[in-house]
């Protein structure tokens, strides 16, 4: 499992390069990757590309995209401009959808993302208890070239055991991805 804030496909250098983004994602060797800051026909900054589908195609993975923002189409274009999060998976996606955090559903849970705050921040306190930070001693993730804070996190419910977690060094975005795994379901006591 991994999480990666892709900065709309732009590297820390500000250059849009989905090939570089796809290579960075592929190098994670994760079966499931949560992506943040994904453009879907958002505008000129990402060449009106459906980044979620394009990355899934390049990596031969399945995809689910959930918009955070949906804006009207630009003049001369017909598709609404969207910006949000996506899940890429080598495994079948049985169901997908937006949920409240932390979700009240029964069963094992994994929450990944750019939390925009470090795990100890007061605004994240509600998460801890239902979920646990998979890498409490993890490395910094942002900005990618010389990170000074850890805001990209993998969190799991008590039913999930994590063998290890690490940040991956890349400047294909302004964030470093985090890889956790393998994840296994803990047996019931």
Alpha-carbon distance 16 to 112, whole Å?
Answer: 24
| Phi, psi for residue 169 in degrees, rounded to 5 | -85, 115
What's the Cα-to-Cα distance from 23 to each of 28, 55, 58, 113, rounded to whole Å?
9, 10, 9, 20
Q: Reply yes or no on whether the pLDDT at 148 is more than 70.
A: yes
Q: Provide the pLDDT for residue 107.
A: 81
Q: Reply yes or no on whether the pLDDT at 102 is more than 70.
A: no
Q: Provide the pLDDT for residue 95.
A: 86
Residue length, the chain?
Answer: 189
pTM: 0.93
Give me 14's structure tokens. 């500000």
Q: Reply yes or no on whether the pLDDT at 189 is more than 90.
A: no
Q: With the CA atoms of 15, 86, 111 and 28 taken in that order, what torsion angle do they form, in degrees rounded to the nearest 10?
A: -60
Extents of the domains making up the chain:
2-185
pLDDT confidence bin for 103, thresholds 50/70/90: low
Q: Over the chain, what is the mean pLDDT? A: 93
Residue with tokens 């031969």: 60
| Phi, psi for residue 68 in degrees, rounded to 5 | -95, -40
What's the mean pLDDT in 7-17?
96
The CATH number given to 2-185 is 3.60.10.10
pLDDT tens sequence across 14-68? 999 999 999 999 999 999 999 999 999 998 889 999 999 999 999 999 999 999 9
Q: Reply yes or no on whether the pLDDT at 85 is more than 90.
A: yes
Alpha-carbon distance 186 to 184, whole Å?
Answer: 6
What's the Cα-to-Cα distance from 20 to each of 16, 93, 171, rounded to whole Å?
9, 25, 9
What's the mean pLDDT in 81-89?
96
């Amino acid at each position: 499992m991994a999480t990666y804030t892709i900065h709309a496909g732009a590297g820390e250098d500000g250059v849009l390069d989905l090939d570089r983004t796809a290579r960075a994602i592929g190098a994670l060797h994760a079966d499931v990757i949560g992506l943040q800051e994904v453009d879907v026909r958002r505008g000129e900054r990402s060449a009106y590309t459906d980044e979620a589908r394009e990355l899934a195609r390049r990596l031969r993975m399945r995809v689910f995209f959930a918009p955070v923002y949906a804006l009207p189409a630009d003049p001369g274009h017909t598709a609404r401009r969207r910006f949000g999060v996506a899940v890429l998976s080598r495994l079948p996606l049985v169901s997908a959808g937006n949920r409240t955090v932390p979700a009240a559903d029964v069963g094992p849970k994994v929450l990944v993302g750019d939390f925009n705050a470090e795990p100890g921040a007061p605004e994240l306190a509600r998460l801890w208890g239902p979920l646990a930070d998979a890498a409490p001693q993890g490395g910094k993730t942002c900005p990618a070239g010389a990170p000074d804070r850890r805001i990209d996190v993998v969190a799991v419910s008590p039913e999930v055991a994590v063998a290890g977690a690490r940040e991956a060094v890349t400047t294909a975005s302004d964030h470093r991805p985090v890889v956790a795994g393998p994840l296994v379901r803990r047996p019931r006591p």
